[in-house]
Amino acid sequence: MAALGWLTPRRRSATARSVLAGEASAEAARKSSQELEALDDLAGASAPEEPEPEFPVVGDDKAAAFFDLDNTVMQGAAIFHFGRGLYKRKFFERQELARFAWQQAWFRLAGVEDPEHMQDARDSALSIVKGHRVAELMSIGEEIYDEYMAERIWPGTRALAQAHLDAGQKVWLVTAAPVETATIIARRLGLTGALGTVAESMDGVYTGKLVGEPLHGPAKAEAVRALASAEGLDLARCAAYSDSHNDIPMLSLVGHPYAINPDAKLRKHARERDWRLRDYRTGRKAAKVGIPAAAGVGAIAGGTAAAIALHRRRH
């Protein structure tokens, strides 16, 4: 597990690789944002589950919002949904699908990011896309969004993002998912752009390596810091939203941190610091929510068991 050491510390400072990953993600996000700025309407967005807060401030162009993706904006992990779509297109074998299904079920059941599972998923994804063209994966990603992701967007979080857009502020996704996948999701939701993990490519072809490290934990904070500097933002007037205690470095950067569908550690941290909490998993107040609803747990576990059983019967 020594190779995962960069994931496990919760209070470590950013390393040079974190800074590199953050700056690379910020650069990629800025390049993609121009084509996304025109698409700023969210058709059919649902109303927030709670009354609109006094924040964001309309017309404050020094403020922006930064949203984590997995379990904050979307149920589950984007990289797992992307894996399902690639399997459907025969990018890898059924054995890999069973592993993706188990990792996704664990993520949904536990409600937290397990370093080993996330590292395994990233390694699998990198090996799968190696040698493929970036343009090809972007085109496939559009299809995968419609097939597996669109229906998993949390309406409450989407409404929060829309409130910032309506106030004239830019809204960015910040995620460990590949920046290409994150950019597709941001565009579909009418957001400004996305900060994500940057996979190395040469002449438009993936090499199977990363630029720096995955955009996770301290690297996310570095990406937000780099983007805020480039955009001339005042972080004290910005907002950040996440479900995971791994994102405390990012949340701590801004003047308006929100815990969305928080895990136990983040909920405790947020309460101690009087951060705002929102929970869209069950409709109950965040203070009363511990784990996902039993019905959801049963459906996930049942679906995974069925997938594994099918895999065994066919082998």
By annotation, the residues acting in catalysis are: 68, 70
Q: How close are the terminal C-alpha atoms of the chain, in Å?
A: 31
| Whole-number Cα distances in Å, 196 to 1, 66, 69, 120, 180 | 24, 12, 10, 17, 8
- Find how far residue 54's CA is from the centre of its chain: 26
Pure H helices in the chain: 16-36, 78-88, 94-110, 115-129, 134-144, 155-166, 179-188, 218-231, 248-253, 264-272, 294-314
**Nearest alpha carbon to residue 243 among 227, 225, 223, 257:** 257
The answer to whether residues 259 and 243 touch, using CB atoms and an 8 Å cutoff, is yes
For 34-61, give the DSSP string.
HHHTT----TTPPPPSSPPPSPSPTT-T
* Distance of alpha carbon 118 from alpha carbon 60, whole angstroms: 36
The answer to whether residues 195 and 172 touch, using CB atoms and an 8 Å cutoff, is yes
Q: Is 111 left (phi over 0), alpha (psi -120 to 50) or beta?
A: left
Structure-block tokens of residue 87: 């399997």
